Each structure stands twice: as structure tokens, then as C-alpha cells.
Amino acid sequence: MEPVFVTNEPALVFENRGERILIVSDLHIGIENEYYQRSMRIPSQTRGMVKRLERLVQETRADRLVILGDIKHKVPGISRQELRELPEFFGRFNGRVKVDVVPGNHDSGIRDWLPEGVRLHKSSGFRIGDLFLVHGHGWPPESFTKAKFVVTGHSHPQIEFRDKLGYRWSEPVWLRAKLKTELMKKRYKQATGFPEIIVMPCFNNLSGGMAVNRKPDPGQKQFLGPLLRRIHNKTAKVYMLDGVFLGELGKL
């Protein structure tokens, strides 16, 4: 079974041996504190994300919740908001569904703030059936090459729209792409093939993103993470959250 996009939400559902798994990425709990440091007061969005996830768990009949990194936002360290809201967040799910966490680049020390019962994996990711699940900021182990799909977060993909008057706005999107075998072979010399990569939009609406159809500014890279920098980007398929297929990236 292929993973299925949840309509109008940055979430995937996957079934493995009768277990239904809900996958999300990039919560960035505590990002409001960064806005506050820039003189912008924004109410905490954590309870809203909890309600969205509770609804998704119920609607998808999920047995397991997997979070692909960047659970918290502050780097390095942890803010008072995160200290307060992380236990509250996990407390709403722990005991109701199995909870797995793959740490991202914002999650140093996350083990100290996870309640008992939450399973913390290595940052290099782990495999469930045909899926290999990883945040995306580093290289996964050789075993990921045996999966059918590798699912990552980290890059917050968006598509930029422009009208005739020059107005621009961005919307979150999904990316599905093939990895470049010749480049991947330099790292994984024994691999006979590579999985298709699925890049998730971020779950926190405040986290912004990267417009994948816009030329990056000087000194910046179009894609984040070693895997995404080795995709066939022109033929990458782009999907809106409502399921609309926009086409291949090279034509957008």
C-alpha cells in the first residue's frame, strides 16, 4: 500500500500489517517566542495543532502517530514556552495512540522533555514496511535503500503564485521525486536502487516555507538536506494540499 495524502492537511496515512499510521512533520512548538523577540505578539498555536491532530487521529482511525522532527523550535536550547507546552502536547496523545518521534535539527536534547511511552528513534530515521521515515537534515543509513518510499520533512515546500499585477503568495505543497542514482551511488555504493522521495509540508502554519518554483537568492540553496539536493527536480511532481496535481516542477 502506498502512503495516502490526507485531504487539506499536511499529513500522510499508511497501513502496515493492519496498523494505521498517521505521519506529520515540523510542529515547531514555540515558534511564537521567536516572533515575540521580533516585537510580534502571536498567541500560541499549540492547542490548535493538538485539536487538528486529535481530529486527524479520529478521522483516519490511526493506531500510531509518527512525528518526523522539529517538534520544538528554539535552537539551541529550549524556551519557557516549549518547556510548558511540550508535556501538554504529548500528554494529549500518550496512551491514546502509539507515538514515535524522529528528531530533527531543532530537537537537540528532546529526549529530556518526552514523557514515558513516547518512542524516540535515531535522527537517521527508521523503517516501517515499505516506508523509511526521516526528518531529512542528514544522511539515512544504507538500509533506507531497501524501502519503496522515503518520507521526509525539513524543507517546508511551498509553491509561489503570481498574478498579472505582480502580487505573489505561496501555498504549501507535497513533492514526490526520484533520486539521482549516479549521485546517490557515490554514498551508497552497494545499493541496487533507491526509493521514491516524498517531502511533507510543515504542520505548523506559522513556520513558513521555501517556494520550490522560485530561483533561490544568492548564497541560498533551492532544497534543504542531502537527499533533496539529489533529486530529479525538473520531473518532481507537485501536489496542493487539496489533492490538485499542479504538474512537474520544471514546468511551473
Evaluate if residue 4 carries a pLDDT over 90: yes
pLDDT for 220: 67
Mean pLDDT of the region 144-152:
96
DSSP the chain: ---EEPTTSS-EEEEETTEEEEEE----BTHHHHHHHTT------HHHHHHHHHHHHHHHT-SEEEE-S--B--SSS--HHHHHHHHHHHHTTBTTBEEEE---TT-TTGGGGSPTTPEEPPTT-EEETTEEE--SSSPPPGGGGGSSEEEE-SS-EEEEEE-TTS-EEEEEEEEEE-B-HHHHTTT-TT-S--PEEEEPPPS-TTS--EETTSPPPTT--SS-STTGGGB-GGG-EEEETTS-EEEEGGG-
- Express each pLDDT in 150-165 by its tens digit: 999 999 999 998 888 8
Classify domain 4-251 by CATH number.
3.60.21
Mean pLDDT of the region 195-224:
86
